[in-house]
Structure 1
Amino acid sequence: MRYRTLGGTGIEVSAYCLGSMMFGAIGNPDHEDCVRIIHAALDQGINFVDTADMYSSGESEEIVGKALKGRRDDVVLATKVHFPLDDESRNRSGNSRRWITRAVEDSLRRLDTDWIDLYQVHRPDHSTDIEETLWVLSDLVSAGKIRAFGCSSFPVEDLVEAYHVSDRRGYGRFRTEQPPYSMVSRGIERSVLPTCQRLGMGVLTWSPLAWGFLSGKIRKDQPVDLTSGRAALAPHRFDQSLPANAPKYDALERLIEVAEGIGVTLPELAMAFVTAHPAVTSVITGPRTMDQLDSLVKAADLTLDDPTLDQIDEIVPPGTDLWDIDAAWRPESLTNPSVRRRPLADR
């Protein structure tokens, strides 16, 4: 397992990070089995574990807390805040000082720990001044409850704004960004990754297998079960009858050929591709079973040469998104028509 420094924090993390979104009701409800998977990952050299308060409404954090008893000092632990944990979201979500102050205490309790190594803002919240968010996160560092803080799936303009607010007001900085990145979701190569490099931010990417699309189990012109697993959560992403999905299924078959040509599996190729980018510090794996963990860790020592990366570039050009990169959040500028339409009287 290779190790890298996380965004100028001086903290060394494994190039693979164990993601725990699938631990709990949403994926694997067997707590003992999940604990065994976490222990197996640690035994194989992974020292970085990422979770979030909203994963299975806090259950994932509880499982991680159980697994890290007796091993906490050897693990870099990351969690996130932003999304509501239940239907009551009024003042129980977002990036306000009020909510973050409450949410961090709840996460510490569920994780059964005195501190969080990396506390991340799960998505932007344009109803809250970024200054307030950075202010409370900086206070949490001073209080010793968190060691560093970062963000997840922030557009580049929000990254730059946060950096300048931190510099102007003397607050701590976002040390990391956590964007989605895969062979079929390469949009962040346009500006997010270069900006993170310029700002000295660590990058831990999620969904390297594009929600299982690059798992090797999905093939063009073969039936896909849209009622279970990741496909059940977003069947439109996998439905081959939709014309919009044709380009990514065509790319899928060509990527499988690339993997076979160098004697690796498609998931191994997918994982090695993400870690090849110089801006990427660690790639988050999200196994639900022990077999999935083992298949992903196999690629930990795989290095792709330039001819192989050139082939991938030909199939999915750099900066191109064939996959709906983030279904969990879209900016108000796209979802709210009123913010992009002048009042009738002014048109």
Structure 2
Amino acid sequence: MTDLRPFGRTGVLLSPLTLGAMNFGRRGNPDHEDCLRIIHRALDEGVTAIDTADVYSQGESEEIVGKALDGGRRDEVFLATKFHGQIGDSPHHRGNSRRWIVREVEQSLRRLRTDWIDLYQVHRPEPETDFDETLGALSDLVHQGKIRYIGTSTFEPSAIVEGQWIAERRGRERVVSEQPPYSILARGIEREVLPVAQRHGLAVIPWSPLAGGWLAGGYHRDLAGPISRRAERFPARFDPRLPENRRKLEAVQELATLVADAGLSLIHLAIAFVLEHPAVTSAIIGPRTVEQLESQLGAVKVRLSRDVLDRIDQIVPPGTTLNPADAGYQPPSLTDPARRRRTAR
């Protein structure tokens, strides 16, 4: 995997695929030795970046990654993790405040068995916390050498721009990357997030290029109900009986015809599509098994023709997310009725 790509304007180069560790641990694959094999296999195949988060199996994912790199491979890897989500039961153990950040980074460093984190990312926005508070704490961690770069995940374009403004006007370290959801079925970021990232020189490392498994070949139009644990836990995104997900099923059926005609696998088509966008640095893949990893690695060698890309645009128009639940984050302005209604008289 020699086709390295620039990580924004930092001077760092990354492989076109990043190994996502969300499925390592009890949330996905509880067999630590098997997870270590996946990590080492990915590194052996030229993957240079690993992405995890403190909330993935409540720290277990970070522990697995740390163990995998502890044998002398840490310097090979651009290591990314995230903070924001709930850890344990305490209401204080979450969020984007300075208080939580300076505490939680120490826990991530310990679990990852490292002295520094290459990319420390704000896992989700938190409108009630001043972003300057967050950037101030993260800037201090950069100056202390505990983290190298600051990133965000699933931020709206206005929040991305606000981060750049705060850094410039208030002397904070700059956010250098955004990690949004992006797939053939969820193309909403093409409207503003990707152009904004290009305008400000941010790297983009999308998550879920396989749309949570929809583009891995396991979903079919004739299914009558939930087909996986994900469908049971997250019906809004995965229950095929819902109209929004029926639209995804129909699109997948058309894509299956397209890949058959083009002589490709659906997995390769999906990942290659994400990598095709000029704003994308590296796509995050999240295999749970070695077999899943092997099925995805070859996507970096696929180049989609103009005819194939045009056909994809016909199936799912540019800028379209078939199911709004796949956007990954809905701001309070949409989820909280009190923010869009005047007090009743």
Q: TM-score range by the shorter chain?
A: over 0.9
Inter-partner Cα distance in structure 2 for 1:192 and 1:340: 24
Contact in 2 for aligned 1:17/1:48 (Cα 8 Å): yes
Counterpart residue identity of residue 73, structure 1:
D
Q: How does 1:1-347 map to 2 (within 5 A)?
A: 1=1, 2-69=3-70, 70-88=72-90, 90-222=91-223, 226-228=227-229, 230-326=230-326, 329-345=329-345
Inter-partner Cα distance in structure 1 for 2:324 and 2:234: 10
Inter-partner Cα distance in structure 1 for 2:280 and 2:244: 29
Contact in 1 for aligned 2:186/2:322 (Cα 8 Å): yes
Inter-partner Cα distance in structure 2 for 1:31 and 1:108: 19
Inter-partner Cα distance in structure 2 for 1:239 and 1:141: 42
Inter-partner Cα distance in structure 2 for 1:147 and 1:240: 42
Inter-partner Cα distance in structure 1 for 2:29 and 2:44: 20
Inter-partner Cα distance in structure 1 for 2:236 and 2:191: 26
> Cα offset for 1:224?
6.0
Other structure's SS at 1:308 match: helix
> Cα offset for 1:300?
1.4
> Cα offset for 1:236?
4.0
Q: Rate the CA distance shift 1:274–1:333 in 2: closer, same or farther, 3 A.
A: same
Contact in 2 for aligned 1:180/1:325 (Cα 8 Å): no
Of 300-309 and 148-157, deviating more is: 300-309
Other structure's SS at 2:213 match: coil
Counterpart residue identity of residue 211, structure 2:
A
Counterpart residue identity of residue 124, structure 2:
R
RMSD of the TM alignment (CA)?
A: 1.4
> Cα offset for 1:217?
1.5
Counterpart residue identity of residue 302, structure 1:
V
Structure 1: which 5+ residue stretches go unaligned? none
Inter-partner Cα distance in structure 2 for 1:245 and 1:73: 42
Question: Between the two proteins, what is the percent identity of the paired residues?
Answer: 55
Other structure's SS at 1:218 match: coil
Alignment length, in residue pairs? 343
Counterpart residue identity of residue 132, structure 1:
E
Of 219-228 and 135-144, deviating more is: 219-228
Inter-partner Cα distance in structure 2 for 1:225 and 1:93: 31
Structure 2: which 5+ residue stretches go unaligned? none
TM-score (norm 1): 0.96
Inter-partner Cα distance in structure 1 for 2:110 and 2:76: 19
Inter-partner Cα distance in structure 2 for 1:227 and 1:194: 35
Other structure's SS at 2:150 match: strand
Inter-partner Cα distance in structure 1 for 2:202 and 2:327: 24
